[in-house]
Amino acid sequence: MLACLSCSLGLFNICRFGILSIHFGANFMFQFFFLSLFIGLPLFTLQLCLGQQLGAGVIDMWRISPLFQGVGVSLLVSQALIGLYSITGVSWMFVYFRDSFITKMDKYRWAEAFNPYRKVTDQFVNISHKLSDTIPDYLSGVVYQRTNLVYGNVYGTIKFQPAFNLAVVWMIVFVSLSKGLRSYGKVIYVFILLPVFATFILCAKLLGMMPHEYINVIFPETSWSEFFTNPKSWIAACQEVFLTWGLLGAAVMQIASHNKNKHLLQRDSSLIVVITFSVLTLIAFLANTCVQILRSYEYTYRPNSFEKISTYTFMRSVKD
């Protein structure tokens, strides 16, 4: 059950859902839940039932018709590519985890100017810089290691920091799968339950930091008059439904194929749905709470693009 939960809840799902709830407000959340009820959950349940009933993965299930075995192979390749892509974001989190323990002159690293971007010299090192500049600099320069923004359109090279973090992540994956599904079934408790509990703790902490005058407007972008007429919100909800319940369908079928035929699939699927909805709702509150806290400190959040230095600032001071 927890292994299938990792297919519906991931780093990219959580980040996307939080950002989209900031842009479209509570409208997006209700649209997502509505579409999930009629499209996403039937698709997810079908994948679980197929995997358990057939007792085979995405390749073996097509032995009934050898003509379609290429479908299973393509699904397996696509799942591998998605895994390679998704695990990069996990390696970036290692950078935040490391720098959260490091301070210099009572400042975290994301409060300092990134030298290649801001041309900082030793004689000006004590000058305080705007957080609206230093945080995007940290994300793009320290986490992403994007030096090509400074030196022009040049081909990037393999950086030691992200390569080392990826090596650590893949070592954890290989150790988790070293003894097959038995070892994976044990470590999945840590990989799934610990982040869920940490999310609850973080949400409680941020709600305590939120000013009381902003509690009644947690979702400021909500416009109920545009609930049925805003096509962008509906399109975003449709995309999120597929990315949450259908993107890793081949992995869900593979995991469910190891269940016994009499396994209580309805119980597992119900728990997965409840936990997924609960965590995504909590993430939406968490993201909008962060925006309200920024607003209380006279900062505003805005959409950004990381292609250029001039467009990658995602927070701006109200005083500017």
Binding site listing? 13
The identity of residue 161, as a single letter, is Q
> HSE (CB half, 13 Å, CA atoms) of 301?
18
User: Measuring CA to CA, which residue among 206, 247, 190 is closest to residue 18?
Assistant: 206
User: Measuring CA to CA, which residue among 237, 175, 207 is closest to residue 36?
Assistant: 237
Binding site listing for Na(+)? 13
H runs (alpha helix) in the chain = 2-8, 11-24, 26-35, 41-54, 69-99, 115-118, 131-137, 148-151, 160-176, 181-188, 194-209, 231-245, 249-256, 265-296
SS3 202: helix
In angstroms, rounded to a whole number, what is the distance separating the alpha carbons of residues 164 and 277? 34
Contact status, residue 267 vs residue 286, Cβ threshold 8 Å: no
SS3 222: coil
SS3 144: coil
